[in-house]
Chain A
Amino acid sequence: MAKVELFVNGRAVTGEAEDRTLLVHFLRENLGLTGTHVGCDTSQCGACVVHVDGRAVKSCTMLAAQASGSTITTIEGLSASGELHPLQVAFRENHALQCGFCTPGMIMTSVDMIRRHPNGLDEATVRDQLEGNICRCTGYHNIVKAVLDASDKMGKGAVKAA
């Protein structure tokens, strides 16, 4: 068994897990953070994306033991104050989801994307950067709109807070 020590959504947590336990399973089953989804389980779909030390990572393709010592942000940790994060607002306002299964991963990927593009995004870049996230409802159009909307709004001084 591996001892797993993480700093998740601002909280220090420790737990025991088999060495082969994937980070996504540790988050969901040991910590009860079920906002992070398991979609394809083959590194394709991005439903499991979380931030590990500030970068978007597919948590189905990382061992919990590998992540030990890291700072993790999941969809539950995105809005610290109880207000929705600007990307969550943009997804709601632009109706960027149908069934919603891919949404946590889409949002975590998009937060990372906007952070890496502080000077703004265009549609082609957003589509390219969403390469690792699949929406089975094929709702990409509104997802792209939402990311562009959030990027515009967050660009006005809010990028650092993301």
Chain B
Amino acid sequence: MYETQYHRAASVEEAARLMGEAEDGKFLAGGMTLIPTMKQRLASPSDLIDLRRIEALKGVTVDGRTVRIGAVTTHYDVSTNEELAKICPAIANLASHIGDPQVRNMGTIGGSIANNDPAADYPSALLALDATIITTQRSLPASDFFVGLFETALEPNEIIVAVEFVAPDKAAYKKFPNPASLYAMAGVFVAKSGDNIRVAVTGAGEGGVFRLKDAERALAGNFSPSALDSLAVDPDVLLSDMHASADYRANLVKVMAKRAIAEITNRPM
């Protein structure tokens, strides 16, 4: 790892000030991606501004059906929050399958979505749940926040404070993890609230997380796994790499979507 200067911020205001003074700074949350990347010398920030100890960014709050998850809340804390598990078990379940237990003890939701790895789990949940990302400067919908591969709408000095969403009537997340890295080769989050159905795909899109609107339309009239039998997922917009071809991923997306619907409806595929 190249030399760097570590700073611990006590508030988002202090963090933003430290970032303003840094030559080429980066915010550090759980560090589960940033530190390995620095060790490989693929990132060499002059300064690290640690957000992990900022109390205002911690914790899950459930108010009626509205959920707010602070940016530095760990995957473990999301996965074990009892109130959240009652009204939106799908996101708690998603958090319980990110990486391994040690990663879940350190990794945070804010870090995950700020990094926007095309194979990360949380982006699909936030897009399907139509979540709002609250930053130090504004609030914006997930659909505007996720821009592309490892790219978000965040400005250099902008810090994620929390994410908020209204718990759906029903939701499920199914992924096909790469057996070595455990990152999703295809992950599909389905959320249904009344007639509003949203299906978001991670791990497969060449532009990162995306909504599978064909599936949403097919499910609108018939919310069952069989509604997706004739769904054709376009491989032209999917990633092709050493782990899986675009055609294979297209099939995985369809299968994961059907598994998610099967879980929600308790019907066989």
Contacts and interface: CB of A to CB of B under 8 A. Distances in A.
Interface of A: 2, 18-20, 41-43, 46, 49, 55-58, 61-63, 65-66, 68-69, 109, 112-113, 129, 131-132
A61 B35 contact: yes
Given A49-B102, A61-B32, A132-B103, 4 more contacts: A20-B1, A58-B106, A61-B31, A66-B52
B50 A66 contact: yes
B6 A57 contact: no
B101 A132 contact: yes
A118 B52 CA distance: 28
Nearest to B80: A116
B1 A62 contact: no
A41 to B, nearest CB: 7
Given A57-B105, A61-B106, A19 B31 contact: no
Contact of B28 (A18, A20, A42, A66): A66
Contacts of A58: 102-103, 106
B182 A57 contact: no
A19 B8 CA distance: 11
B35 A62 contact: yes
B21 interface: no
B150 interface: no
B39 to A, nearest CB: 7
B146 interface: no
A59 to B, nearest CB: 9
Contacts of A41: 39
Given A18-B3, A19-B6, A42-B36, A63 B105 contact: no
B210 interface: no
B31 A56 contact: no
A43 B106 CA distance: 12
B102 A132 contact: yes
B100 interface: yes
B102 A46 contact: yes
Contacts of A61: 31-32, 35-36, 106
A63 B35 contact: yes
Nearest to A51: B105
A63 B35 CA distance: 8
Interface string B102-126: 1101100000000000000000000
B105 A65 contact: no
A129 B101 CA distance: 6
B76 interface: yes
A33 B41 CA distance: 27
B102 A57 contact: yes
Interface string B49-61: 0101100000000
B99 interface: yes
Identify which of B50, B53, B106, B182 gathers the most chain A CB atoms within 10 Å of its CB: B106
A66 B8 CA distance: 8
A61 B39 CA distance: 9
A43 B103 contact: yes
B6 A63 contact: yes
Contacts of B31: 61-63, 66
Given A55-B105, A113-B101, A43 B36 contact: yes
Nearest to A49: B102
B222 interface: no
A69 B53 CA distance: 11
19 contacts: A19-B5, A20-B2, A41-B39, A46-B100, A55-B76, A55-B105, A56-B101, A57-B102, A58-B102, A61-B31, A61-B36, A61-B106, A65-B6, A66-B31, A66-B52, A109-B102, A131-B100, A132-B100, A132-B103
